[in-house]
A and B are shown apart, each in its own frame.
Chain A
Amino acid sequence: MQDFSFHKPQNLAAAVDTLKKRPEAKALGGGQSLIPVMKLGLAAPSDLVSVAGLAELRGIKVDGKELVVGAGMTHAEVADSAEVKKAIPALAALAGHIGDAQVRNRGTLGGSLAHDDPAADYPAAVLALGATVVTDRRKIAADDFFRGLYQTALGADEIVTSVRFPIPEKAAYAKFAHPASKFALVGVMVAKGPAGVRVAVTGAGPGVFRQADMERALGGRWAADALAGVAVKAEGLNADPYGSAEYRAHLIGVMARRAVAAAG
């Protein structure tokens, strides 16, 4: 790993200020995505600005019809949170199956979203629930946030501070884990909420995406068998030795049905 300067700012403003002054700097959440990438030499920032512990990024609360989760909350904290379990149990369950126990003890919501691994779990929740990503300077709708392979709408010096999840009527996430990495080979989050029915797929493509045909079918009738007629195309999907595009397309259907069934 190439060396860098480490910064531990006292507050959000100082963190943003450091990022602005150093164009090669990166924000560091729990490090469970960024540190492995740096160890492999795929990223070599000049500075790391630790943000996970900032007070502005901590906390979980229900605010009106939204669940607000601080970007610095670890996956374990989200999974164990009574508020999350009550408001959006599917989100707690999703967080409880990210990576493994040790990763969940360090990895954070904000870090996961900023890294935007195409096989990460959280992006499916953010997109399917129609959440709003709140940063130090603005609010970004989920539909505008994800921009494909490791690309988001975030500026280089922008820090995710929290995510506002509209509390859905029903939601569930079904994940088919990659046998080796345990990332999602295919993960499907379905939700029926204020913004209608939304279906988001992670792991299968170059980035998280919505499945419009399934949304239409479930919008008509919320039931697993409503998806029976929806054909998922393999074109454009990922392929590796553990899952061809065709198999992933098939799994999108299976996971979507299971998620709908689980959501009740």
Chain B
Amino acid sequence: MAQGGIGSSVKRKEDARFLTGRGTYVDDIVRPGQTHAVFVRSPHAHAKIKAVKTAEALKAPGVVAVLTGADLAADKVGNLPAGWLIHSKDGTPMVEPGHMALVADKVRHVGDQVAVVVAETKDQAREAAALVEVDYEPLPAMVGLAQAIAPGAALVHDQAKANTCYDWHLGDKAATDAAFAKAHKVVTLDLVNNRLIPNAIEPRAAIGEFDRVTGDLTLYTTSQNPHLIRLLLSAFTMGVPEHKLRVVAPDVGGGFGSKIFHYAEEFVTLWAARRIGRPVKWTATRSEAFMSDAHGRDHVTHCELALDKEGRFLGLRERTLANMGAYLSQFAPSVPTYLHATLLAGCYTTPAIYSEVRAVFTNTVPVDAYRGAGRPEATYLIERLVDVAAREMGMDRVDIRRKNLIPKDKFPYQTPVALQYDSGDYQATLDAALKKADWAGFEKRRAEAKARGKLRGIGISTYVEACGIAPSAVVGALGGRVGLWESAHVRVHPTGSITIFTGAHSHGQSHETTFAQLAAEKLGVSTDQVEVVHGDTAKSAFAMGTYGSRSLAVGGTAIVNAIDKIIAKGKKIAAHLLEASEGDVDFKDGKFTVRGTDRAKAFGEVVLAAYIPHKYPANLEPGLEESAVYDPKNFTFPAGCHICEVEIDPDTGVTQVIAFTAVDDVGTVINPMVVEGQVHGGVAQGIGQALLEGAQYDDQGQLLSGSFLGYTMPRAGDLPSYQVGTEVTACTHNPLGVKGVGEVGAIGSPPAVIGAVCDAIGVRHIEMPATPERVWRAIRDAKKA
């Protein structure tokens, strides 16, 4: 193994700058002559705009411009697109109402952007924004899903009848109904997957810049995918060709999905910069983030599981209402459909599955992908049903799972909901987790806790997820409007240092280290010699960015393919230098050798020869840099088992997570330290969803949990230390055998936590977040019953 190569916990290259305050986030950037933007946002959830009066604001000190929806309309720009087209059961396309970056007709959620004020200083912009007078005529606010689809509900968009965006289904209904008809037992469950607010600690920010001489536009933005933003700016919101547009996403302080999307504010800063001819900067306040960053989850589901006498799953069906919020954010339509219903087999052999999903507009902040996106919702639904089935069948929760897991000799495994899992060993992760968590010894711990007056419970979830998105052809067939391949360019410099240009973006994922490890492994160089460049459309080739745990499986594969081209070219050069036939040259541990001889050339010698081609093969170009793109052949399917142990204070209902064990199969592990860190973070968000977090609106559509004072972010004291382990089955369709780790923690954990709470207090189900009051009430109600 090369030093720092695959499998070693190399310390992170990015840490030196972050630990000394030298990271460069968008808000740290100051452009010459920059102005500051502040948005005027709606205080109403739903209201007609009768007039927007800007005269007073324009007169305020320092104000450079005040722009409104009317200005957007005049410039014919600013309509934010949806990136995925879903067709309803009846074949009609989803209702796509459009989303203007500044609204002119009516506001549809609290925080909707009505105008922007640009001034010399932030304070001046803020003060002038307060002088923009908007006349609203309030309309009834459609806040909850049930309210929005009730007969006679006010319409968020006139064209979306019954506030329905689409009414979609997947699976074989007849076969599923037949399975239920012959079932020994049917268990049913109604559950809510609570709305979450992603809250990356860095608030979104953007700086738009316009070069008056060249007409070039530059946008600095907090994005997980600068190329995608440039594409959308070019093709939709700005209508400026790509070669005049540069998008830079420098250090980005966490994303979790919420920084995938093309947001109104980043377009507006760029558009305003072009209009005034000066840079325009905007940074969200946290209060603003709460009402303008896309939220996550928010499903209301009815689901059923059919079982035979032995507890084998015969069929699963569900009906979900999915909240889209007020507008369609880019990937919102795909989340409750192709990222959710396709996962409903989970890691089980359930032969028949039918899912119906109705997407609904409401007067709330748009909902889109948040860590896991659709897969946590599917996993929660399945695993809660399995727990309830075990309870109602009088079976052990582990036994019922074991009985239904897909056996390891059945891969590739075709599920009834479109996906084909390539590899896995679900028994192995289950067994390892049970052992690590000492599942067998739990009852003793429960008794010990009881003696202290605490209710102790244990919960388990076995899950599989689909990530490494995604094969472009498949995505296209399912309504995706983009390809989902990834690019890489590897440049070996004359003296042997290496720059890797990637389209993936690191905002916590440690790509600068793990991608360098790929080069170290393949080329036998030190990671210190390798620099990874990302986040700038002027530097790396077009690619799709980072989300869906795809960076390594797709972007990493592209890098490896580019490196393989470097090696292939190196062999040609080495063969010439060593006067051997190219077919006889091997490359290993940084050395080109002639098979069966002791003749060798070090990698560095070959590199130098490529740049100083004094002795060089004819018909070969000098230089040593190669590009590759990789379009994956399938999704990847990480899987695993999570076990949670809690103690509940029966007097207050407070749940403390005592232990959390995660054993995941994420395929080949490049850097164990980084993989563990990713699992920790995902699990923390899953525990947050299960116990602490939840967006709450009042019936007027005001966000009650609109700041960190009202929305519970997991803190150090809320969480335990985790026990994390991995089991490896290699992905069969990428050369590294990697699957992805970014989302597994958030996908597998919530049902394990809720299962533990239910076990502790002896109830069938409790909704997330299981707040102290909810748990206290559940204990009280259980006593009454």
Contacts and interface: CB of A to CB of B under 8 A. Distances in A.
A254 B710 contact: no
B652 A251 contact: yes
Interface SS majority for chain B: loop
A64 interface: no
Contacts of B712: 179-180, 242
A257 to B, nearest CB: 8
B652 A240 contact: no
B472 interface: no
A246 B711 CA distance: 21
Given A180-B705, A240-B704, A247 B773 contact: yes
B698 to A, nearest CB: 9
A93 B156 CA distance: 52
B651 A254 contact: yes
Cβ-closest 4 pairs across A and B: A180-B712, A181-B709, A179-B712, A247-B773
A244 B705 CA distance: 15
Given A240-B704, A247-B773, 14 more contacts: A179-B712, A179-B771, A180-B710, A180-B711, A183-B709, A241-B694, A241-B710, A242-B712, A242-B771, A242-B772, A243-B773, A247-B776, A251-B652, A254-B651
A179 B772 contact: yes
Contacts of A183: 709
B776 A180 contact: no
Contacts of A40: 287
Contacts of B704: 240-241
Nearest to A36: B709
Contacts of A181: 708-710
Report the interface size class on chain A.
Answer: 10 to 19
23 contacts: A176-B652, A179-B712, A179-B718, A179-B771, A179-B772, A180-B705, A180-B708, A180-B713, A181-B709, A181-B710, A183-B709, A240-B704, A241-B696, A241-B705, A241-B710, A241-B771, A242-B712, A242-B771, A242-B773, A247-B772, A247-B773, A247-B776, A250-B776
B692 interface: yes
B252 to A, nearest CB: 25
Nearest to A181: B709
A174 B651 CA distance: 14
B652 A179 contact: no
Interface in A231-263: 240-244, 247, 250-251, 254
Contacts of A247: 772-773, 776-777
A244 B773 contact: yes
A176 B694 CA distance: 20
Interface residues of B, number: 21
Contact of B709 (A1, A176, A180, A254): A180
A240 B696 CA distance: 10
Contacts of A243: 773
Interface in B687-717: 692, 694, 696, 704-705, 708-713
Nearest to A39: B285
Contacts, number: 43
Contacts of B709: 180-181, 183
A123 B487 CA distance: 61
A242 B712 CA distance: 10
Interface string B652-693: 100000000000000000000000000000000000000010
Which residue of A40, A179, A180, A183 has the most chain B CB atoms within 10 A of its CB atom? A179
Given A242-B771, A254-B651, A179 B776 contact: no
A78 B694 CA distance: 36
A251 B123 CA distance: 43
Which residue of B694, B712, B718 has the most chain A CB atoms within 10 A of its CB atom? B712
B773 A240 contact: no
A13 B351 CA distance: 83
Given A241-B710, A251-B652, A254-B652, A179 B696 contact: no
Given A179-B771, A254-B651, A240 B776 contact: no
Which residue of B713, B771, B773, B777 has the most chain A CB atoms within 10 A of its CB atom? B773
Contacts of A244: 773
Interface string B768-784: 00011100110000000
Interface string B703-738: 011001111110000100000000000000000000
Contacts of A241: 694, 696, 704-705, 710, 771
B40 to A, nearest CB: 15
Interface string A179-205: 111010000000000000000000000
A247 B718 CA distance: 21
Which residue of A1, A3, A241, A250 has the most chain B CB atoms within 10 A of its CB atom? A241
Contacts of B777: 247
Nearest to B769: A179
A242 B710 CA distance: 8
B90 to A, nearest CB: 39
Nearest to B652: A254
A96 to B, nearest CB: 14
Given A179-B772, A247-B776, A240 B651 contact: no
Contacts of B772: 176, 179, 242, 247
A4 B491 CA distance: 56
Nearest to A248: B773
A35 to B, nearest CB: 14
A243 B710 CA distance: 11
Given A240-B710, A242-B771, A254-B651, A179 B705 contact: no
A120 to B, nearest CB: 13
Interface in B620-676: 651-652
A250 B652 CA distance: 8
Nearest to B713: A180
Contacts of B718: 179
Nearest to B771: A242
